[in-house]
Amino acid sequence: MTKRRYEVLLPIRHNDGRSILVQDTQTLQQTLRDVIERFGAMSYSPNSILGVWRSEDGRPYDDDLFLLTVDVEDTPENREFFRRFKGVLRERFQQREIYMVTYLLEVI
């Protein structure tokens, strides 16, 4: 079966500036557990990635982010899980948006 990779950028800080690693560690831990419980595996990069973007109203944002990577079977059920999970993550991390991409994989 075809594999699909999902990459999710997770914030290091809430929008109010609270550190997720220091003041809210359960948010990140629960997210990683959710993925492991569902799929049995994931990759997580603890090195921060700098994200810079501008909102529709022109306000600039700088984000420090972690990368969560999950390789799964390419099924409608898995796609739906990640579609719903994105909404869960927006609420859990108190973000306006969570950046998530997906693409097909060829595993050798």
pLDDT tens-digit readout, 20-63: 877 778 999 999 999 999 999 999 998 999 998 888 899 888 88
Per residue in 8-22, pLDDT (tens digit) is 999 998 777 788 877
Domains, the chain, ranges and CATH?
3-105 (3.30.70.120)
51 φ/ψ angles, rounded to the nearest 5 degrees? -115, 135
**pTM for this entry:** 0.89
**76-105: pLDDT as tens digits:** 999 999 999 999 999 999 888 899 999 999
pLDDT at residue 7 in the model:
98
DSSP-derived 3-state class of residue 87:
helix
